[in-house]
A and B are shown apart, each in its own frame.
Chain A
């Protein structure tokens, strides 16, 4: 019933819409607003400003005079029109966004669908139910779910590219949205692409400071195993093409290189500069810092040419051979004190990209020239 009314309102105001539904774009400039918007806005706001002027400036006989009864009624009708008009504007926008439908790679998980952990464990979970858990646990009060255009070059969205900037079609399959207004923690739009590993997500939910010593996130170790797995499945589903996830053919390098935008390296860059762009576009930045800070993985600062202690008890020197092995086959050598969660999919990158990335890591060591 309400939906029908909203649709009727949409059509009614849409009659003034000179741009036409086909050309309607979410970022449309204000100059392209429907004619009805301008008509009613100018009429109502103008009338109210006139009223204000009249009420303040009109001559009065006594010291205190108030509008007549007729004036009150006219005023009330005017304000009511303004309020209803405002709500209608929002309803129209909301209705038309709904009508846009979903894009091909939008999040699309129905109730009951399960996701097999792409990180290699035999766990699975229901992303849709995980999304309900996400709401119930209040995750949205510290984490947002959308990337703005201006986030790309800043610390708001490490690893995100122009292709990750949110559009309304991304959210079409959600019955309700949790975009969020506050970022006490990182945006989670592409968390599943950065760390597609349910074991890590669950371990991090249960004890965040195990991986990030300065994290201020609460522990979610009280949740049931079902809730944790569903929530982890939801996190893994974020930023990944649902078709690939369902088919079990997830390929991180593949999704990251389709990015476009300024992060894609060019041939004219030095290898280290190319590597720096890859560091951002491939999402390394999500787990490895360049300033010495401990993150999910070891920092890249001062890594090259120095000794690394492994879980196996051995110590190796971080040279070209070690770094190549660490990227091509992350499970081969596990650094002591860090979880074995690095995705294996980076192993598919080209030799040229790999060399550029190693050149970038090398450039972050002070004594890199001495090896």
Chain B
């Protein structure tokens, strides 16, 4: 049952990984060849709805599901005790999938005036209330299962991953409640203020702690080195939890709200440098002296690459949140590019690192092709940055055209199609990399060599040292 629960979350996430990014790459054609996309109107699914489908599928489907499968895998191992009430986690997996499918159907249906079935107004909180209830129920089930496991642990000390994963699930539930239910108590622009609180915490309090907790588990094991500093990991966790919640209004800096609350959001954003530097230092210092392990370990490669993207995105974030930069990039695709650097870059890398690490250990199969695994890695190394640069370029060009040259948005289309074309092409390559990853795992289910504890994830590569056994 334990294995079934983990596998359900793990393989569901893979399915959503095929769907979500592909929709994103496909819908970007709307920006360069809108007439090709007229057929989408014939099935009542134009860009505006497809975008909601894209964000919901990627965030709730791929990223959160894969990290919850990682939590179900890692927390019991760190507590040295089996998962308690795996039936709850298993049921939650089906509830979550059902909620997502229902969510997508209701986005397509676009019912304008139903309390339970209309999509909500908040960005990333579009899921109708009926779906929200299901998602909260699923998260509560997972929390119950995991927290009971932690209570029954056989090790007194909690490794930092447990802090992140369990704490991240609690903040997921809380943030979700605020963004989807508390917000209903407000009207007018007050609604937008509470929605802003949710908007950035959907990333900061849901995805970030879950992703970092996963990476904290992968990095020492894959690098076969003890964590660089436990003290630093504690600093990172608590400052993240303390500084993140206030940042949301930096998405609406010039909205008519009191300046001081905006300043508070910007100060919070800049203070995030503390947890970010703590985490990045820890991750990049842990494999010191043993970086050659990266030749043998795909989990380590992806975790390190994800950390570099995480550093980039977290340096960019406070930079663009300051008013001096924000006036120029606000409303442009610069911001979307930033979001892709975080989610499609950093956290997808962490998700894939967890996938490469967990897959042999939950299915008993090694990965069948070293070459294909390298393709997925170099795709993220080479094409993802080009994709990101094209995306950002579009935002910079739009900002210059409209803010500085006085052109209207309509006139700006005449220049932005070039970076947008680059974005579509390289984005498609990145999506192909994702699909190759899913294909690699699914194919390995059938043809992969049997895996036993101590082996590498991929045949004919360096074997694990006893370090892992010593921990387990």
A interface residue numbers (CB < 8 A to B): 2-3, 6, 25-30, 32-33, 37, 41, 44-45, 48, 51-52, 55-56, 64-67, 75, 78-79, 82-83, 86-87, 89-91, 93-95, 97-98, 102, 129, 132-133, 135-142, 144, 146, 148-150, 153-156, 158, 165-168, 171-179, 181-186, 209, 212, 214-222, 227, 289, 291, 293, 295
Contacts and interface: CB of A to CB of B under 8 A. Distances in A.
Interface in B228-251: 229-232, 234-235, 238-239, 241-243, 245-246, 248-249, 251
A55 B231 contact: yes
Given A133-B112, A181-B199, 17 more contacts: A27-B258, A32-B260, A37-B264, A41-B264, A66-B231, A82-B241, A90-B196, A93-B190, A93-B261, A98-B187, A148-B255, A149-B254, A150-B327, A172-B189, A181-B123, A181-B252, A215-B413
Contact of B409 (A27, A82, A95, A184): A184
B409 A185 contact: yes
B interface, how many residues as a size bin? Answer: 35 or more
Contact of B413 (A87, A133, A216, A227): A216
Contacts of A293: 410-411
Contacts of A83: 241-242, 245
Main secondary structure of the interface of A (DSSP, over half): loop
Given A6-B186, A52-B274, A94 B327 contact: no
Given A51-B238, A52-B274, A136-B119, A214 B186 contact: no
A167 B46 contact: no
9 contacts: A78-B242, A140-B123, A148-B255, A155-B405, A168-B257, A172-B188, A186-B409, A216-B413, A219-B46
Interface in B326-347: 327, 331-333, 335-336
Contacts of A33: 258, 260
Contacts of B246: 86, 89-90
A116 to B, nearest CB: 21
Classify the interface of chain B: helix, strand, loop or mixed: helix
A217 B242 contact: no
B197 interface: yes
A182 B409 contact: no
Given A90-B248, A216-B413, A29 B260 contact: yes
A97 B193 contact: yes
A136 B187 CA distance: 18
A93 B188 contact: no
Contacts of A155: 401-403, 405-409, 411-412
Interface stretch (B48-56, B78-86, B141-149, B433-441): B48-56
Given A132-B112, A138-B49, A97 B190 contact: yes
A2 B185 contact: yes
A140 B121 contact: yes
Contact of A177 (B118, B189, B230, B412): B189
B467 interface: no
A280 B366 CA distance: 67
A141 B122 CA distance: 11
B461 interface: no
8 shortest interchain CB distances as A-B pairs: A138-B48, A94-B190, A218-B46, A33-B260, A132-B112, A2-B185, A183-B331, A136-B110
B30 interface: yes
B292 interface: no
Given A185-B409, A209-B35, A52 B239 contact: yes
B382 interface: no
A150 to B, nearest CB: 6
B372 to A, nearest CB: 35
Contacts of B333: 182
Given A33-B258, A155-B406, A218-B37, A181 B185 contact: no
B216 to A, nearest CB: 15
A204 B436 CA distance: 41
B113 interface: yes
A112 to B, nearest CB: 11
B185 A214 contact: no
A224 to B, nearest CB: 10
Contact of A182 (B43, B238, B248, B336): B336
A248 to B, nearest CB: 26
Nearest to A156: B402
A347 to B, nearest CB: 26
A75 B167 CA distance: 14
B260 A30 contact: yes
Contact of A139 (B48, B234, B260): B48
Interface string B3-44: 000000000000000000000000000111011011011111
A33 B188 CA distance: 22
A153 B35 CA distance: 32
Contacts of B271: 45
Contacts of B186: 3, 6, 94-95, 98
A97 B336 CA distance: 28
A128 to B, nearest CB: 9
B182 interface: yes
B193 A87 contact: no
Contact of B121 (A135, A144, A156, A219): A135
A25 B258 CA distance: 7
Contact of A158 (B193, B241, B408): B408
Contacts of B52: 138, 141
Contacts of B229: 64
Contacts of B193: 90, 93-94, 97
Contacts of B251: 181
B46 A91 contact: no
A167 B188 CA distance: 11
Contacts of B413: 214-216
B40 A218 contact: yes
B414 interface: yes
Contacts of A28: 258-260
Given A30-B260, A181-B331, A221-B41, A129 B113 contact: yes
Nearest to A34: B260
Contact of B188 (A55, A65, A174): A174
B404 to A, nearest CB: 8
